[in-house]
Amino acid sequence: MKLKNLLFGLALVLVSISFSKAQPDNLTSAPNFTLTDLNGKSHDMYSYLNQDVHVILFLWASQGCNSCISALNPLKQIWNSKGFSATGDSSVMILALEINPSTSNEASVVASQNIPFPVFDNGHTIDNLKYNTGSVPTFYVVCPDRIWSIKKGGIMNANTLLNDIASCQPVTTFPLDLRTNFNWYNGDETFCLGHGIKPRMWIKNMGTTTVTSFDVEIGLGGTILGTTSWTGSLARFESANIQFDEIGAFTTTAIVDLAIVRPNGSVDAVPLDNSFQVQARKVTTYDSLTFTLFLNTDGNASETSWELVDHRNVIIAEGGKAAPLPNNTPLSEVIKVPGGGCYELIFYDSGNNGWGSSGNMLLQPAGTGGVVASLAGNFGSEAKTKFEVKGVYTDIGEDQLMHDFKVYPNPFTNQTRISFDLPQRQDLKLQLLDMSGKQLSNQNLGNLSAGYHEVDFHVGAIPAGMYFLMLQAEGKQIVQKITIQ
């Protein structure tokens, strides 16, 4: 679906508060590298981490960067008190990586500024290792367990980096020690009425033994809803992102428990860092069937694409797939959804860095001036948000084959009655689906004449909960949400 150009000025500060969290940058282990400094000495970063030494990567420019030169004094303070093989406690290694390949004055700066820690004139070569060398100064604090944090811009005192070092977790020596927490959760935190959530979270192996299996228990109010088993291979400090099927059918805010259990069929040495809770909240519901997507692309628009999907993961609208989006261009798209139900807007970025300062997005319902969702900045490789539309879901369009599809009573216990009006004779089927779209029953209603019809529907031994009744005719369908008590 091609977007149409539209010049618009939105006096808004767009933030990604409505979107699920992107993958944190530091969950995968900080990439290792080996470089030779100006004195001809080779440095392998992991060799320091393996000695329980914290590493500060100082990405800087020797020319035209006053804040880089100003940062040298705090770094020298850290080196003098904690520098590796220096006069301090040898718990920190500082690697100063000059990222401009065209400069050649690094040695003179080292001499004039009396820099005591290793300096490299080829720091730009680590750019392909997920380190962002696009701005200076940038500081990475890498903990011995390979977890890393990033700070951009100048620093005023040593505590700015020392606080990050102090937050590093001790490296364990336990054979089995998996770790996760809410900050590593990047699954659903919202649901549409009667739907559940699809949890997804990062899990990191901190133990000395390679983990080949574990279970994740998903609970609600102390009751385990289900267990998902994982198999694979996680070496020490490696991580995995686990995606779960939809769980639950919520009507109000719910607290969902997630816990890692039975690594390699055994017991985790530190179970306290194996579980956390997610508060699942109902999404906002809108009356409108028409929405407008406003999009300001950045300078790498070809990396970005988007899609709007319904509850069955059917694409309703999309952009940036068949043809790349234009760079640095304001765009808009009017989107009409087929009816009531749950929808999800998903943005993808193949560059894994979202947008820069120029890119943003706004989704608005027609005629209300409200905001369904907004997104800006670095959202990683994916960002998504859900919203709900009132009414009955239908994908049969304006040439509607069935009218006035009703279910009464609803909610009900064992039996209800459906009614509908057919404009012409046609073959009909009635299906019962769970909230994930799985078919539970399929009833052939036969070839029915035009006009009004009523059909009794018996649920049989179906557990209480929320479901969908789907009436099908000639490849078209209309859906009603039902509640079995």
For 430-448, how does the pLDDT look when each residue is reduced to its tens digit (9 = 90+)? Answer: 888 876 667 788 888 888 8
Domains by residue range for the chain, with CATH: 4-19+285-389 (2.60.40), 53-166 (3.40.30.10), 178-281 (2.60.40.10), 397-484 (2.60.40.1930)
**The pLDDT value given to residue 133:** 65
For 337-365, how does the pLDDT look when each residue is reduced to its tens digit (9 = 90+)? Answer: 888 888 999 999 987 778 877 789 999 99
Q: Is the pLDDT of residue 394 over 60?
A: no
Instruction: Give the mean model confidence (pLDDT) for residues 389-411.
Output: 63
Q: Is the pLDDT of residue 474 over 50?
A: yes
- CA-closest candidate to residue 481, choices 418, 423, 400: 418
Q: Is the pLDDT of residue 469 over 50?
A: yes
**The pLDDT value given to residue 480:** 76
Q: Is the pLDDT of residue 10 over 60?
A: no
pLDDT band of residue 396 (cuts 50, 70, 90) is very low
**The pLDDT value given to residue 393:** 56
Q: Considering only residues 308 and 19, tell me which one the structure prediction assigns the higher pLDDT.
A: 308
Q: Is the pLDDT of residue 200 over 70?
A: yes
Q: Which of 165-179, 361-375, 376-390, 469-483 has the lowest mean pLDDT?
A: 469-483
**The pLDDT value given to residue 125:** 84
For 256-284, how does the pLDDT look when each residue is reduced to its tens digit (9 = 90+)? Answer: 999 999 999 999 999 999 999 999 999 99
pLDDT band of residue 61 (cuts 50, 70, 90) is very high
Q: Is the pLDDT of residue 180 over 80?
A: yes
**The pLDDT value given to residue 106:** 92
Q: Considering only residues 298 and 131, tell me which one the structure prediction assigns the higher pLDDT.
A: 298
Q: Which of 14-23, 167-176, 376-385 has the lowest mean pLDDT?
A: 14-23
Q: Is the pLDDT of residue 54 over 60?
A: yes
For 27-53, how does the pLDDT look when each residue is reduced to its tens digit (9 = 90+)? Answer: 678 899 999 999 999 999 999 999 999
Rounded percentage of the chain residues whose pLDDT exceeds 90? 40
Instruction: Give the mean model confidence (pLDDT) for residues 452-471.
Output: 84
Instruction: Give the mean model confidence (pLDDT) for residues 106-134.
Output: 87
**The pLDDT value given to residue 11:** 29
**The pLDDT value given to residue 436:** 61
pLDDT band of residue 181 (cuts 50, 70, 90) is confident
